[in-house]
Structure 1
Amino acid sequence: MKIPVILCLAVFLSAPAGPATSQGLVLEDETYDALPQLAQLEGYKDQDLPPAVDLSAYCPPVRNQGDVYSCVGWAVGYGALTIKKAILAQCTDRKRIEEQANSAMFIYNQIKRESCAQGARISDALNLIREKGDCLASEFDTDVEDCERRPDETLLNRTALDTIADYLTLFGLQASAEEKIRRTIRALSGNEPVIIGMMVRKNFYQLHDAKYWWPNLGNTTPAGGHAMVVVGYDLPSASFLLFNSWGTVWGDRGFIRIKFEDFAEHCKYGFILKMGENARMGETINAQSASLHPVRTISGAASLDYLDGEEAGGSPLFRRSAVTGTGNGVYRATGRDWQTGQLFQLAAWAEQHGLYLYVFSIDPTETIHVHWPRSFRVSDRFSGLNESALLLDPQARATIPGPDQALRLNQSGHNTLYLLFAAKEVKHLDFIAAKMRDCAGDYRERLESLLGKHLVPLADIRFEADRPAFTAATRSDGYMVPMVVVLNARN
């Protein structure tokens, strides 16, 4: 059996005022890149970024994890999950945040390795709160050194009603420094705290009354891995702000800044959360409240662009095609003569935060092509890619097949593009595509027959007539809105 590498040290500082500090990050290089990753999207503009973001007002009070190697539980539960709920509630009341802070030990005690002197993987913590949820710190973290306590059945039944919907990695193991920095900044600009796994040095322990960690000063001996939360950035100083679990004596009252370039060098992993529909702060979740249906809103749009020669500099020139709605979310490309051999792109985007997008097409030969998400899990064409279908930012556009690529009309006849916008993850996309090809009836009849109650009722959707776009508001169980775009190609 392969024993996982555990890089965690319990270091007792010689300075009298220094508290005992522990880490506890189990490395997961072998599996990290196989986890769903936030997709590479277009439409971001660096000039739109605020010069600084600071989410520390949403943080619970800094606590000390003590001698237990529980940093993963502190970063995921007490840190990121608490912060996300406070942001959703727009709550900066410190007392209320403290009262409603999520537990670290509920998570750690269920996922730790063989003993309390061993750590945990961040992905295991995230899988746990996706499947079982998390309780309040006040219910479970009264003794942060008690790493043997197990939650009882009553507590597990209640926390299962308040799970996260999903989680994503923010960048890959081989990501460039520029990509790590850019993606972390972009997440924070959208009020997303970032859970990180960082390799630290022994000088990291010695940060008392310090505002920055300078990795190359002092004792630079490698000291293993540690999980924390990135809660801010500052462009003028080119630094990130980290929320730690080593008490207020450490760093700057429990926080520390790190320069962008040092972050890129030492940070191995980055994760973000997608909250569940029951996520709320200051309320007790029970079976009755979890069954109530608040109004769910879903809105999305798409555009169709055809290649029309080159621009003066030699780059491809794409022009917007007219697209006309024929009713019930079905659209036809109009305004030009579409011929076989024509190159084109489809762009799609959510007009709100946190929707999933799925795109496939069926050509005149009834061959199915999956275009989005770009993941080996949905198509062999995407070998080596594992991007999520989640569109985190409404500014970001999924350009299909890619910003420097184009689709081609190879056959005369109807080429049909299916776009599914969903508030939840959609599984078995290949099955859905095959059934859409094989079922009888018009497009809407086939969709209704196949997806049924998962669709938002037509009465709750407003489709635009002159472009593929919609807004929906529903109290139904439906969480998915499809659009169909038909291109009729001639020889």
Structure 2
Amino acid sequence: MRLLFLILFVLVTTNIYSQGLVFDNDLYQKRILLKRDRSDKYPKSFSLKAYAPYVFAQQNSTCVAHAIAVARTIAFAYNRKLTDIKVVSANVFSPHWVYFRNKQLGDDNCSKGLNLENAINDLIVHGIPRLVSVEYKEYYPFTKTVLCNYYPDSYNNDTNEALKYKIDEVYRINDLDGIKLALSKGMPIVVGMLIPDSFTKSNSKLWIPTANDNLENSFGHSMVIVGYDDNAYGGSVEIMNSWGVNWGDHGFIRIKYSDFLKFTLGAYGFFEQFSLGSNHIIAKDTSYSKDLKLSKSIDLKSKSLYSKHLKDFEPSVK
């Protein structure tokens, strides 16, 4: 995987600008690497899917914000053994907080995407509030009103809440062993990938690249790895996307190890140091999570819109 990363970086240079993901390899390489100790062992399969919230349907180029919010939610749920999807979704964190704080100047319609490294560092230092404190109940995904160029009046309160939910560390992962180690230790993984046309049109459990797929005509996208299985399809990872439940396998998809390595830019393991004495509050009112589930009725115009990403996107480097 290290060699594949190196080859890929030579092809695309330092930064990848796209419909959602800005990937900075220089900053990525400076991040702490997750290393395997001699005593570390991991099973042939492991999954954090049971700790995932409802699948989001992102609006505009907000994949990085959604991936970070979902990964933070899964880490929170895993450490507190929350597996009821209604309870997990009642504790889901806010994508808009991530995007609003880290967007580029002049990005008034959430179209320029985020620098993944910057957004992760902001999470480590400043944390993240819950979606119920920010988007609920006047904004998407609960209504058709999408937050982008402004923030609700709750910003000061949300800033204080966010500090309670900082992530303790985010590790750089540069091979499959690291993927397996991180997941088996309860770390959801945010991944940056180059996505070809066939991926946007996936409607099955497994994505199989076509002969026409290549790195040059792909766009950057960020998602969450929730599991791996050495036996499924000859070895595969399972990814949770933010394109709604009408894409892939109800919003999830498996990718064979070899294909995953070919199209991956970088991966990040989200580690939370949890103790029973922490001041985190578990939201038990699941009434709004029901609204979140129902919000899939105002889902993106999935496949046609995702294909439009490729039609409109011209890769550029800086």
Q: Which residue of 1 aligns with 2:82?
A: 91
Which of 215, 231, 236 does residue 231 from structure 2 map onto? 236
Which of 52, 63, 67 does residue 71 from structure 1 map onto? 63
SS of 1:222 mapped into structure 2: coil
Instruction: State the Cα deviation string for residues 414-453 of structure 1 (Å, max 9, x = none).
Output: xxxxxxxxxxxxxxxxxxxxxxxxxxxxxxxxxxxxxxxx
SS of 2:73 mapped into structure 1: helix
Instruction: State the Cα deviation string for residues 158-178 of structure 1 (Å, max 9, x = none).
Output: 22233122221112xxxxxxx
Instruction: State the Cα deviation string for residues 309-355 of structure 1 (Å, max 9, x = none).
Output: xxxxxxxxxxxxxxxxxxxxxxxxxxxxxxxxxxxxxxxxxxxxxxx
Q: Distance in 1 between matches of 2:17 and 2:165?
A: 32
Note if contact 1:215-1:262 (Cα within 8 Å) is conserved in structure 2. Answer: yes
CA deviation after TM superposition for structure 1 residue 263, in Å: 0.9
Q: Which residue of 1 aligns with 2:307?
A: none
CA deviation after TM superposition for structure 1 residue 128, in Å: 1.4
Q: Distance in 1 between matches of 2:212 and 2:173?
A: 31
Note if contact 2:27-2:117 (Cα within 8 Å) is conserved in structure 1. Answer: no
Note the residue ranges of structure 2 that are not aligned, 5 or more in a row.
Answer: 1-13, 285-318
Which of 176, 179, 188 does residue 181 from structure 1 map onto? 176
Q: Which has the higher strand share?
A: 1
Asked if 1:190 is matched to 2:190, the reply is: no
Aligned CA-pair RMSD: 2.1
Q: What is the identity, as a one-letter code, of the residue corresponding to 2:149?
A: E
CA deviation after TM superposition for structure 1 residue 233, in Å: 0.8
For residues 35-434 of structure 1, the aligned pairs below 5 Å read: 35-45=31-41, 49-66=42-59, 68-77=60-69, 79-114=70-105, 115=107, 116-141=110-135, 142-143=139-140, 145-150=146-151, 152-171=155-174, 180-208=175-203, 210-217=204-211, 220=214, 222-237=217-232, 238-276=235-273, 278=278, 280=280, 282=282
Q: What is the identity, as a one-letter code, of the residue corresponding to 1:161?
A: K
Structure number with the bigger relative contact order (C-alpha 8 A, sep ≥ 6) is 2
Higher gyration radius (CA): 1
Q: What is the identity, as a one-letter code, of the residue corresponding to 1:272?
A: G
Q: What is the identity, as a one-letter code, of the residue corresponding to 1:213?
A: W
CA deviation after TM superposition for structure 1 residue 65, in Å: 0.4
Q: Distance in 2 between matches of 1:60 and 1:195?
A: 15
Q: Distance in 1 between matches of 2:31 and 2:249?
A: 33
CA deviation after TM superposition for structure 1 residue 8, in Å: 2.0
Note if contact 1:195-1:271 (Cα within 8 Å) is conserved in structure 2. Answer: yes
SS of 2:268 mapped into structure 1: strand
Q: What is the identity, as a one-letter code, of the residue corresponding to 1:165?
A: D
Q: Distance in 2 between matches of 1:161 and 1:125?
A: 17
CA deviation after TM superposition for structure 1 residue 133, in Å: 1.2
Cα gap change, 1:50 to 1:35, in 2 (>3 Å): closer
Q: Distance in 2 between matches of 1:88 and 1:189?
A: 13
Q: What is the identity, as a one-letter code, of the residue corresponding to 2:206?
A: Y
Which of 15, 20, 23 does residue 27 from structure 1 map onto? 23
Asked if 1:7 is matched to 2:8, the reply is: no
SS of 1:83 mapped into structure 2: helix
Q: Which residue of 1 aligns with 2:310?
A: none
Note if contact 2:187-2:271 (Cα within 8 Å) is conserved in structure 1. Answer: no
Q: What is the identity, as a one-letter code, of the residue corresponding to 2:218?
A: A
Q: Distance in 2 between matches of 1:241 and 1:124?
A: 25
CA deviation after TM superposition for structure 1 residue 219, in Å: 5.4
Percent identity between the two aligned chains: 27
Q: Which residue of 2 aligns with 1:406?
A: none
Q: Distance in 2 between matches of 1:40 and 1:185?
A: 10
CA deviation after TM superposition for structure 1 residue 261, in Å: 0.9
SS of 1:81 mapped into structure 2: helix
CA deviation after TM superposition for structure 1 residue 276, in Å: 5.0
Note if contact 1:163-1:279 (Cα within 8 Å) is conserved in structure 2. Answer: no
Q: Distance in 2 between matches of 1:108 and 1:123?
A: 13
Q: Which residue of 1 aligns with 2:316?
A: none
Q: Distance in 1 between matches of 2:246 and 2:34?
A: 35
Q: What is the identity, as a one-letter code, of the residue corresponding to 2:208?
A: W
Q: What is the identity, as a one-letter code, of the residue corresponding to 2:68?
A: V
Aligned length: 253
Note if contact 2:35-2:178 (Cα within 8 Å) is conserved in structure 1. Answer: no
Note the residue ranges of structure 1 that are not aligned, 5 or more in a row.
Answer: 10-23, 172-179, 285-491
Give TM-score, length-normalised by structure 1.
0.49
